[in-house]
Structure 1
Amino acid sequence: MYDASLWQPSADMATLQKRAQLFSTIRDFFSARNVMEVDTPCLSLASITDPHIEVLTSHTHSLGKALTYYLQTSPEYAMKRLLCAGSGSIYQLGKVFRAEEIGRRHSIEFTMLEWYRVGFDHWQLMDEVEQLLASVLQLDNLQCERLSYQEAFLRHLELDPFTSSLSQLQECAHKHTEYGRQEEDRDTLLELIFSTVVEPAIGQQSPCFIHDYPTTQAALAKIYQDEKGQSVAARFELYWQGMELANGYHELTDAQEQQQRFDEDKHARQDLGLVDRQFDERLISALHAGLPECAGVALGIDRLLMLLCEQKHIDAVISFAHQRA
């Protein structure tokens, strides 16, 4: 309910000053590395394929024609089009939007730092994420832990996410959450187990990178063979004190493979009975033109600021909370 009396910011001025300083530190970090800042549109006539992320829409008319615009959940597609056009390494610091439940760590509008490094793989990009955090924390050296997805499950659950049967995953999920016995999708079970058991246990003393995800969770990342010879996604996520901060890929450059993944997402959305939306096929066209070998990562600025300021709710680090609108 709209209340005109709630006009004051949800964050105090000291926190907003820290926010401004964080932005300045980030821009100095990338300027020193000759990474160009870009500014892509928040609105687009097309959107993402991911069946697990819902988007905010805006409806209007132009020349008598009804149009649906999508608020962007990430600048990824537009930034990759810039990369295909020859931009070189780039970053963006700005607002993104997701139609998800508002909560302690979630807002429908939030600030994302996303960057792409031409010539990097995901290992090199993990190094740079670590360097950025060290700069933000004003540390000469920061040692982040690195665990493979498989190692994390074995350490905290004694369960192998790659070889365990569906029934074993169902029982594990039920044991820890009381849900899962009826679930037939392996990735849904793995994500439930990870978020409930693994995520709260990792990155408590120092930030922790989880890497080498199952190929079914590759999203827009390359697939490669790990040291054990099993196929894994060249993807990582960063966790700190039980909170997911970043998600990065050694980016998929194959247009045909990307189209196949888009088609699989479309079918998944149909099977789930989700609302149809226009997918952004311009990314496929750009990939046909040629995406340079690169790695990219998205980092949640509001969540990072929550940790830096020791705040428990995202409202405390943004200027105006949407819950108070």
Structure 2
Amino acid sequence: MNLTALKERASLCQQVRVFFGQRNVLEVETPALSQAGNTDPFIDSFSVNTAHGLRWLHTSPEYPMKRLLAAGSGDIYQLCKVWRRDERGSRHNPEFTMLEWYRVGFSYQQLMREVADLLHTLIPHLQKPARFCTYRQLFLETLHIDPHVAGEAELAACARTHWINIDSDMSAQGWRDLLLTHCVEPQFPPDQLTFIYHYPASQSALAKVEHSDGQSVAQRFEVYLGGLELGNGYQEQTDAEQNRHILERDATARGSDIPVDERFLAALETGLPECAGVAIGIDRVLMCRMQVDDIKQVIPFTWEVA
């Protein structure tokens, strides 16, 4: 047990509550177990057999929090445990702590600024102001390639130029992801927050899409400290039909029996207010705050000993 980490975690959570209390954002609690799991093809849920049937541990409180928003809750936040299968390593633990919040009437640009304010509060040694860059800008600066225009062959050639040799028939998005993680992210300054926004529309998930510089781009962002991703935010897609299309498409892509969350979709039919939302990995923020490089140093009971 790391007593220093325990105290720092308690202090950090208290600061989070003060931060949102000053902004009149309501703290809420939602169920950890749900009758529907996450249909995202890249995120795996844990399932649990109960006396009342199969349930899934949530990978994020997003769906029930949006049900609250649709019911008129106003601005809300939640600090909670979430679970994701097969995520282990120096930056991953299958059970981790997430901070998620939604701001009604906010643009994602406003939310990025609020995220920067919170992270500078929680990581006090950060002195430089955050920098905000588009996805395209970072690829042009680092790799001299426009990721919105380049096709599979050009992206693959760029990867080989940077000593990434993978014998694979990947899609253009697969190559973009590889170049981002292996070439772009390592260049982020270690002492400054970096926000990336305007991702390709193919990565919009449940974010809205806009047109910028002749391209369709997602109204979403990710925030990093150095090469460590801390959070992911959206201008939330409020169209109920579009949300249904995305969830059903993802469920088909998974080819699994995880049911689509019909209660979430029914709530959206009543009207989700225009809002922006973000999820932050609290354990990673604590790593940055304590300036350590392994998540095991900030979690009192890791997966192996839980």
Which TM-score band (shorter chain)?
over 0.9
Distance in 1 (alpha carbons) for counterparts of 2:16 and 2:3: 20
Structure 2 residue runs without a partner (length 5+): none
Q: How do 1:85-104 and structure 2 match up within 5 A?
A: 85-104=71-90
What amino acid is the match of 1:123?
Q
- The structural deviation recorded for 1:120 is 0.2
Q: State the one-letter code of the partner of 1:301.
A: I
Q: Distance in 2 between matches of 1:147 and 1:91?
A: 26
Deviation at 1:231, TM superposition (A): 1.4
- Specify the code of the residue in structure 1 equivalent to 2:29: D
| Alpha-carbon shift at residue 101 of structure 1 (Å) | 3.3
Specify the alignment match of 2:221 in structure 1: 236
Greater shift, 44-53 or 21-30, is seen at 44-53
Equivalent in the alignment of 1:3:
none
Runs of 5+ consecutive residues of structure 1 not aligned to the other structure: 1-8
Contact 2:90 2:293 in 1 (8 A): yes
TM-score by length of 1: 0.90
Aligned residues: 305
SS in 2 for 1:49: coil
Q: Distance in 1 between matches of 2:142 and 2:51?
A: 53
How far apart, CA to CA, are the structure 1 residues paired with 2:203 and 2:108? 15
Other-structure match for 1:154:
140
* 1:72 matched to 2:58: yes
Q: Is the 8 A contact 1:84 1:287 kept in 2?
A: yes
Q: Secondary structure at the match of 1:299?
A: strand
Aligned match of 2:269: 288
TM-score, length basis structure 2? 0.95
Once the two structures are superposed, what CA deviation does each residue of 1:42-61 show, in whole Å capped at 9, x if it has no partner? 10010122100011110123
| Contact 1:176 1:196 (8 Å CA) reproduced | no
| 1:57 equivalenced with 2:47 (yes/no) | yes
- Please list the CA deviations of residues 84-109 of structure 1 after superposition, one character each: whole Å capped at 9, or x if unmatched: 00000000001000002311000000
Distance across 2 between alignment mates of 1:105 and 1:137: 17
Which residue identity is paired with 2:230? L
Summarize the alignment of residues 120-199 of structure 1 with structure 2, pairs less than 5 Å apart: 120-138=106-124, 143-174=129-160, 175-179=162-166, 181-199=167-185
RMSD, aligned α-carbons: 1.6
CA distance in 2, matches of 1:139, 1:172: 36
Aligned position for 1:255: 240
Q: Percent identity between the aligned chains?
A: 45
Matched residue SS, 2:182: helix
Q: Distance in 2 between matches of 1:134 and 1:239?
A: 12
Give the Å deviation of 1:308: 1.0
Q: Retained in 2: the 8 A contact 1:39–1:92?
A: yes
Distance 1:205 1:151 in 2: 20
Q: Does the 8 Å CA contact 1:173/1:189 hold for their aligned counterparts?
A: yes
Partner of 2:9: 19
